[in-house]
Amino acid sequence: MKGSMHNNGMKMTILVVDDDPDARSVLKRFMEDLGHEAREARDGQDGLDAALRERPNAIISDGLMPRMDGFQLLRAVRKNETLKSVPFILYTSVYTADQERSLALSLGADELIVKPATPKVVWGK
């Protein structure tokens, strides 16, 4: 995990974007257990709207979602002047090949993690 995802003990606001409510809930609960504030969004479009409204300290997004997938969300975040420096993790069970990892990193993702990794793996703990 890149150093930009670590918070040096400060409370962070993490935006968890996933169309699976159970997956969102698990990550949200884990972030809160670490002392962070977690926000939820049900797809990329809702995630982008929430990020623009609240400017989270980090975004963890599923890859395959309705309306706007994780790659589209990543592109939109990196193109936005306010959001472009926000650390972004793609957390996916569908886009797992080396070419998807390369694409995610070339678009500016800080990491691509394959589900069902534990929240500890996602956060680098």
Residue 85 pLDDT greater than 60, yes or no? yes
What pLDDT shows up at residue 38?
95
What pLDDT shows up at residue 95?
55
DSSP classification of residue 88: E
Task: With 0.85 as the threshold, say if the pTM is over it.
Answer: no
125: confidence class by pLDDT, cuts 50, 70, 90: very low
Q: Report the pLDDT averaged over residues 1-29.
A: 78
What pLDDT shows up at residue 76?
97
What pLDDT shows up at residue 49?
97
100, burial (CB in 10 Å: exposed 0-12, middle 13-18, buried 19+): middle
Picking from 106, 119, 112, the residue whose alpha carbon sits closest to that of residue 91 is 112
